[in-house]
């Protein structure tokens, strides 16, 4: 066993060393190419006063003090292919973005606008050039300006000039329920994991008996409370109504297959948990340049898209159910039962042999049976509820999709 452990540790060390050497070689190559690429930057224009103020504000942020300290107010053009590599260090990933062989600071939101051949506006800093715009689609300063306006809720045209913020409100109760209800009770379900584990220490392995049964029992009761208590919902978030023309960007894998599609309104990414919304969003109107009104939270989560897609109307038409808790509990109880079947001792003979012993000794002997009976009860309760809730959610999704199909079909006939 010790030999196998040493071999595994040695293999991990060798793999880590290989990655470190590969990463160092890449970084050395990047530096050599960067010295040549930095001299090929073509002067393009001067920064505007507004851009200078926004960049100064970015400079004051803790995470950007080293990379956003610009040398001058000149803007340069950088052209070339995009490349990205990095390394994971202590659970933190360090990525390096390169355009035309030159390492640049590119905001993560700009990655959605990368093409095979890229044209970027950059400014020189004392460390690494910073990308201001990319392919006439992404603008760092417009993105920051729009985010601030979205957070404050200031009515008017947003920084990108393509989108207008026309109203602010709070989430409705039904919108909050649509987002959160299915997750209600999952805190209790997850608390059941340490509760079952601690009780198993006593019941199955007979170790740390007082330290397993007592805290395990307390956690079990606490888990039941959170599992079945009346749902409590978060405070309604701020919601902004935006008007503009939505745009869509496909996310491709290494083989250039479409993995997902992202929706944008100006620089604001429209996040939507209901994936079945996408076909209706794309086919919202026959004309691609028709402005659409959307309701989004300050973090970009869609509450409403156009006149038809609405979380509130979905919840009003077919209320959702808190079903994830039953699925989690079914899995926990099933695993506990399977482990119990393999780990529990033969009870019958032990109980007969020690029938004269005290009640505490008898309870200890019956502990595995009690543990397995408890999990069997949990499984009997939650497995049918998980099955029923899953089918309800599946049918609900189908009914809502059909509802939208009927609406869009009727709209196209008009």
- The tens digit of pLDDT for each residue in 153-187 reads 999 999 888 899 999 999 999 999 999 999 999 99
- Are both 343 and 395 inside the same structural domain? yes
In a domain, 341, yes or no: yes
Structure tokens that stand for 285 in this block: 């109107």
- Claim to verify: residue 208 and residue 118 sit in the same structural domain: no
State whether residue 42 is helix, strand or coil.
strand
Query: Whole-angstrom Cα distance, residue 382 to residue 325?
Result: 9
Q: Tell me, what's the pLDDT at 302?
A: 95
Distance of alpha carbon 176 from alpha carbon 178, whole angstroms: 5
pLDDT of res. 212? 67
Single out the residue in 136, 155, 188 at which a domain terminates.
136
Q: What is the pLDDT of residues 72-83, one digit of tens each?
A: 899 999 998 998
What is the model's pLDDT at position 376? 92
Same domain assignment for residues 45 and 116 = yes
Residue 218 and residue 358 share a domain: yes
3-state helix, strand, coil in the chain (%, to 5): 55, 25, 25
Does residue 354 form part of some domain? yes
Q: pLDDT value at position 390?
A: 93
Domain interval for residue 103: 28-136
Same-domain check for residues 116 and 224: no
State the total domains in the chain.
2
Give the end of a domain, one of 82, 108, 136: 136
CA separation for the pair 111, 76 (Å, rounded): 20
Judge if 207 and 104 occupy the same domain. no
Q: What pLDDT is stored for residue 253 in this prediction?
A: 67
Residue 260 corresponds to which tokens in the numbers above?
């997902």
Tell me, yes or no, whether 366 lies in a domain: yes
Asked whether the CA dihedral 308, 310, 312, 317 is positive or negative, the reply is: positive
Give the residue from 242, 307, 289 showing the smallest Cα distance to 268.
242
Q: Is residue 54 part of a domain?
A: yes
The residue to which tokens 């006149």 are assigned: 307
Residues of the chain with pLDDT under 70: 1-2, 4-5, 27-37, 61-68, 88-92, 204-212, 252-256, 284-288, 343-366, 414
With respect to residue 18, please indicate whether it lies within any of the assigned structural domains.
no
Q: Which two tokens stand for residue 199?
A: 């009780």
H-only helix segments in 271-323: 278-282, 311-317
**pTM assigned to the model:** 0.79
Q: CA 174, 297, 150: angle at the middle one, nearest 5? A: 150
162 in a domain, yes or no? Answer: no
The crossing angle, in degrees rounded to 10, of helices 186-203 and 324-343 is: 10
Degrees to nearest 5, angle at CA 292 with 287 and 298: 145
In the 8-state DSSP scheme, what is residue 283?
T
């Amino acid at each position: 066993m010790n030999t196998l452990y040493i071999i595994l540790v040695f293999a991990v060390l060798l793999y880590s060393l290989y990655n470190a050497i590969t990463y160092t070689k890449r970084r050395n190559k990047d530096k050599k190419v960067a010295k040549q690429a930095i001299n090929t930057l073509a002067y393009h224009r001067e920064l505007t006063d507004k851009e200078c103020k926004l960049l100064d504000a970015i400079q004051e942020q803790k995470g950007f003090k080293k990379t956003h300290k610009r040398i001058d107010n000149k803007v340069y053009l950088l052209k070339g292919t995009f490349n990205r590599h990095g390394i994971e260090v202590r659970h933190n990933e360090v990525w390096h973005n390169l355009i035309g062989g030159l390492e640049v600071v590119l905001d993560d939101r700009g990655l959605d606008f990368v093409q095979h051949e890229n044209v970027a506006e950059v400014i020189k800093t004392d460390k690494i050039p910073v990308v201001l715009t990319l392919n006439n689609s992404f603008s760092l300063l417009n993105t920051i300006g729009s985010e601030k306006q979205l957070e404050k809720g200031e009515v008017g045209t947003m920084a990108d000039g393509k989108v207008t913020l026309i109203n602010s409100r709070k989430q409705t109760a039904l919108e909050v329920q649509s987002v959160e209800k299915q997750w209600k009770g999952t805190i209790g379900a997850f608390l059941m994991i340490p509760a079952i584990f601690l009780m198993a220490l006593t019941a199955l392995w007979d170790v740390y008996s007082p330290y397993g049964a007592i805290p395990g029992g307390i956690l079990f009761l606490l888990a039941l409370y959170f599992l079945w208590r009346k749902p409590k919902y978060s405070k309604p978030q701020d919601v902004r109504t935006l008007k503009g023309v939505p745009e869509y960007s496909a996310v491709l894998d290494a083989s250039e297959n479409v993995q997902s599609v992202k929706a944008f309104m100006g620089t604001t990414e429209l996040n939507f948990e209901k994936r079945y919304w996408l076909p209706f969003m794309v086919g919202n109107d026959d004309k691609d340049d028709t402005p659409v009104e959307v309701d989004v939270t300050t973090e970009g989560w869609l509450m409403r898209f156009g006149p038809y897609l609405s979380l509130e109307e979905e919840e009003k038409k077919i209320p959702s159910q808190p079903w994830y808790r039953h699925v989690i509990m079914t899995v926990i109880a099933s695993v506990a039962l399977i482990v119990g079947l393999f780990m529990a001792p033969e009870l019958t003979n032990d109980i007969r042999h020690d029938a004269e012993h005290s009640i505490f000794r008898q309870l200890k002997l019956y502990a595995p049976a009690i543990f397995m009976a408890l999990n069997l009860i949990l499984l009997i309760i939650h497995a049918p509820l998980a099955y029923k809730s899953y089918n309800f959610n599946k049918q609900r999704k189908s009914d809502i999709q059909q509802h939208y199909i009927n609406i869009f079909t009727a709209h196209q006939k008009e």
